Structure 1
Amino acid sequence: MQTLEEAELCFPQLLNISCKKHIRPQAEAMFIYVVLSSISLLTAALNLLVIISISHFRQLHTPTNLLLLSLAVSDFLQGLLLMPFQILLTEPCWLLGDLVCTLCYLINFINVSSSAVTMVLISVDRYVAICYPLQYHTKITTNRVQICVYLCWGFAVFYNVFFLYDNLKQPGKFNSCYGECVINIIGAVDILFSFIIPISAIIILYMRVFAVAVSQARAMRSHIRTVTLQRSATVTARKSELKAARSLGVVVAVFLMCYCPFYCVYLSGNDLVIGSSSQLLMVSMLLTNSCLNPVLYAFFYPWFRKSVKLIVTLEILQPHSCEANIL
């Protein structure tokens, strides 16, 4: 029969080196499981719809949508793999081993890094479209965007493997006891490359985008009654670009709101205790962004609503459905 001390350990057979169980109240634990599981399923399902939509319909094969596709792949992996990982971290003990722990963190960081870099690329795309509209189609091509997306994911993998090298070389090196899932990274350098540089680039680019967008909107309103038919087409095209900039601006703003609190805690000099309520809240905000993106697409983009209807009704299985007009 187990003693009380053994019952409180993750590995009773390792009395001297086992972690103690930090058991949550049952109601709190159940609430966390239900919320995170629901977000996980919803995130994976919604982002899968985005992936199918942009991949299947040829009208959506645009440079901007390729960036949204990259973001959707990252968000899909968050819902499919990383949110369940966060659910496991809420358990009193980590039972899947040190290597699995490190790999889960690695995949998590790769996805977060790729999302941040993709947001920077989206900001660059809108910056060129609004500030240099005449050169946009020559500077931002599908092939160039594809190369940028590949480089984005390559950078995310290389960067995070480099910074987690000690953890990958010797999994569990930084655990204080058996039953923990803890890693160590170079904090200041990681914050610089994962937070300060991409966030600064996004904010600077979008400040410029919206400054130019406001001036263009005013110019269009003041001259809308005197333009010729030929210039009316230009005005219509420019309105479309401004609308796209506003829509993507909301996506970027929501990303910043979900992304910043996690790193701001570290910048303030405070530490998040693994498994604590504050740590779960910060990480959940970071991951919830992956679920919000498809919801924003459904709200702002008619093409997404149309494509989802075709997918749900299985009309995409019909011949030549990829040529459907959904714009």
Structure 2
Amino acid sequence: MEIMLDEGNMNESQPPTTTTDTLADDLPALVAMTVYMSLLAIMGLIGNILVIVSVAISPRLRTTSYAFIVNLSVTDLAVNVLVIPVMTVSFYNYGWPHIPFWCRFVAYIFCLSIGISFVTLTMIAANRYSLVSCSRRVRLKYCGWKGTTLCLFFNWFSAFCLVLFQEFYYKATVRYDTVLRFCYPDSSEPATYWYLSAILIYGTLIGFILIPILYCKTFHSLQVSRRRTETWARPAGKTRPRKQNNQSQRRVHPAEVKLTKLMAVIFTVIIICWTPLWVVHFFKLTYDIPKGVERLCILLVLTNSSINPYLYAWLNKNFLRAYKKVLLCGRNRKDQFYEELNTTIRGIPVVEQLYLLGEFNARVGSDHNSCPAASLTLALAS
């Protein structure tokens, strides 16, 4: 059923006699899965490039918090470019249609994405907690560009060490399963099984214990901040609490609240996509797991790498505006309408200019810091 990477010809034109490839007998299912994976590769490629370019060109997104999102997008982009296309080609071949190097490479990229994704999610949760709950000194030390750069370097370094350990320490066996159509470290060998189990247990401890604790503490701090704001907004004459230290008096900016909620949703989606694969791995030694279930688990993991950019746009208006700016070659509707308005108001009295600019501000729904028309309104008024 399986072809070992280190033995035999990886380009066999006929399947092994012991293999029963039910997918090959079901042509509609084969075509559907191939089309689905092709769409995943295209959507993931476009979406993750949009994320990286949007953060690069948008001043609002060029912050340390969004640097972690870029890191996550780079990992997803590697899966979309290096893993999914290679697997898509293999769906129409018995055996591995590429050189053996690519089989091992795909398996290692898959393991690398696990390590980087979950360490990045942990760092995002810690970053959110530090920005919302900790003192200013701690925020400047660990959430500035220097601290963020060190965190990202440690992220990639630890993930590469994780992969190189199995490559050079005991040379893990990588197999291509002609039913799953996927290259992976052979978990039937005890050493490889426990190596993969250690990685998954590590991901489980992070995904189900550490990150939820950090987000619970973060949302608790947000709730305390909201209550404090409501207390200080009481009418005059009401009793106000005594002044506390600077850490507890800090008001959380609404943008931090929205970004925290966004990353909590991204974490939830990743857990939903990865949990079935974890469960199958730990039960496959004692139970006969259908190959179709394993195949769907892998497809679910690959889907996660393609949907994150669209979740960013759905839950974050800054990303949505940046996407539109990139897709429209730097011209969005607000800028175009402002140029037309600026041409229209030339030569008319200042009072009418203020009236038209006020209507413009109401239509685009922008504040004074982000809207160029608002700045012009203030300049004319002065």
More deviation, 153-162/120-129: 153-162
CA contact (8 A) 1:272 1:278 kept: no
How far, CA to CA, are the matches of 1:264 and 1:170 in structure 2? 22
1:163 counterpart (162, 166, 170): 166
**Alignment-derived partner of residue 25 in structure 1:** 26
Give how far 1:87 is off.
Answer: 2.3
Give how far 1:263 is off.
Answer: 0.9
**Alignment-derived partner of residue 5 in structure 1:** none
Helix, strand or coil at the partner of 1:305 = helix
Give how far 1:12 is off.
Answer: 6.3
Higher relative contact order (CA 8 A, sep 6+): 1
How far, CA to CA, are the matches of 2:371 and 2:81 in structure 1? 28
How far, CA to CA, are the matches of 2:182 and 2:299 in structure 1? 20
**Alignment-derived partner of residue 116 in structure 1:** 118
Instruction: Report how many residues are paired.
Output: 303
Give how far 1:272 is off.
Answer: 9.6
**Alpha carbons of structure 1 residues 274 and 148: separation in structure 2 relative to 1, 3 Å:** farther
CA contact (8 A) 2:87 2:182 kept: no
CA contact (8 A) 2:119 2:155 kept: yes
Helix, strand or coil at the partner of 1:304 = helix
**Alignment-derived partner of residue 48 in structure 1:** 49
More deviation, 215-224/107-116: 215-224
Amino acid at match of 1:291: S
1:215 counterpart (224, 228, 232): 224
**Alignment-derived partner of residue 190 in structure 1:** 199
In the alignment, structure 1 segments of 5+ residues that lack a partner are 1-9, 317-323
**Alignment-derived partner of residue 66 in structure 2:** 65
More deviation, 257-266/142-151: 257-266
**Alpha carbons of structure 1 residues 52 and 19: separation in structure 2 relative to 1, 3 Å:** farther
Amino acid at match of 1:140: C
How far, CA to CA, are the matches of 1:280 and 1:79 in structure 2? 17
How far, CA to CA, are the matches of 2:370 and 2:251 in structure 1? 20
Helix, strand or coil at the partner of 1:314 = coil
CA contact (8 A) 2:258 2:316 kept: no
More deviation, 203-212/85-94: 85-94
Amino acid at match of 2:277: F
**Alpha carbons of structure 1 residues 297 and 175: separation in structure 2 relative to 1, 3 Å:** closer
**Alignment-derived partner of residue 150 in structure 2:** 147
Amino acid at match of 1:201: L
**Alignment-derived partner of residue 356 in structure 2:** none
Amino acid at match of 1:278: V
More deviation, 301-310/217-226: 217-226
**Alpha carbons of structure 1 residues 30 and 212: separation in structure 2 relative to 1, 3 Å:** same
Matched residues, percent identical?
Answer: 19
Amino acid at match of 1:119: L
Amino acid at match of 1:56: I
Amino acid at match of 1:208: K
How far, CA to CA, are the matches of 1:32 and 1:55 in structure 2? 34
Give how far 1:140 is off.
Answer: 0.9
**Alpha carbons of structure 1 residues 275 and 138: separation in structure 2 relative to 1, 3 Å:** same
**Alignment-derived partner of residue 276 in structure 1:** 291
How far, CA to CA, are the matches of 2:371 and 2:153 in structure 1? 27
**Deviations along 1:113-154, whole A, 9 cap, x unmatched?**
111111011000111112115342343101210121121111
Give how far 1:180 is off.
Answer: 8.5
CA contact (8 A) 2:13 2:95 kept: no
How far, CA to CA, are the matches of 1:311 and 1:208 in structure 2? 36
Helix, strand or coil at the partner of 2:12 = coil
Helix, strand or coil at the partner of 1:315 = coil
**Deviations along 1:74-126, whole A, 9 cap, x unmatched?**
11112122222332453432222332111111112112211111101100011
**Alpha carbons of structure 1 residues 272 and 203: separation in structure 2 relative to 1, 3 Å:** farther
Give how far 1:68 is off.
Answer: 0.6
The answer on 1:249 being equivalent to 2:258 is no
Helix, strand or coil at the partner of 2:136 = coil
**Alignment-derived partner of residue 128 in structure 1:** 130
Give how far 1:21 is off.
Answer: 6.6
**Alignment-derived partner of residue 137 in structure 1:** 140
Give how far 1:216 is off.
Answer: 2.5
Give how far 1:249 is off.
Answer: 1.2
In the alignment, structure 2 segments of 5+ residues that lack a partner are 1-10, 187-191, 241-245, 332-368, 373-382
Amino acid at match of 2:233: I
Give how far 1:211 is off.
Answer: 2.3
More deviation, 179-188/204-213: 179-188
